[in-house]
Amino acid sequence: MSVVTLTKNNFENEVMKSDKPVLIDFWASWCGPCRMVSPIVDEIADEAKDFKVAKVNIDEQGELAQAFKVMSIPTLVVVKGGKVTAQAVGVKQKEQILKMVK
């Protein structure tokens, strides 16, 4: 499954109405740690069968970043059934990210 790029226009359908958990990566192009996490998130998305993987560019989607109270990036959030079930800030290893979703 590929990474879904989230915007305020598709957020409701892709995340809140999703029948699968959604791992969301809040990032920005100027963020060094984000560039370290991004390939890991992409790899997880390629392998994911039981959940969706999405990304939010905070510079383009500030409203979504505010809604999730994102203060530092990268921030990883897991949403299941419309509720946040896990959140982590900073660079994480693949295993740590996968544990968040399970």
Catalytic residue among 1, 7, 28, 31: 31
Residue pair 46/77 in contact by the 8 Å Cβ criterion: no
| Known catalytic residue at 34 | yes
Catalytic residue among 34, 40, 44, 97: 34
Burial degree of 98 (CB within 10 A; 0-12, 13-18, 19+): middle
Residue pair 88/96 in contact by the 8 Å Cβ criterion: yes
Determine the Cα–Cα distance for residues 56 and 25; give it in Å rounded to an integer: 6
Q: Looking at this protein, which amino acid is placed at residue 36?
A: M
Residue pair 97/24 in contact by the 8 Å Cβ criterion: no
Residues with catalytic function: 31, 34
